[in-house]
Amino acid sequence: MSKFKYLGIIFTTGRSFNTTFEMLSGQALKAVYKLKSNLIKSPGITIQHKLDFFDKLSLPILNYGSEVWGLNDSTKLEGMHIHV
């Protein structure tokens, strides 16, 4: 077994969290697209409220497990901000 999932974090034998980063960024991307589809229906929402929605809906997904992989650099997770 080269990888296993424990409490939502994917551990690999190579000690890399890249698989976890890909999974979390995919889940956060789904949340961003869902958020965008709902925001289109309400055009009067301010930019500040849109960013607040992102902080409340997507950031918890992106930060999940950061206690374990917090010191690793992930461009996948950082790149999520361009989808807002």
> Would the pLDDT of 84 be above 60?
no
User: Please, what is the end-to-end C-alpha distance for the chain in angstroms?
Assistant: 37
pLDDT of 76 reads: 66
Write the pLDDT tens digit of every residue in 57-68.
Answer: 888 888 787 777
Kindly report the number of other CB atoms within 10 A of residue 60's CB atom. Answer: 11
Q: What is this structure's pTM?
A: 0.68
Q: Max alpha carbon distance in the chain (Å)? A: 51
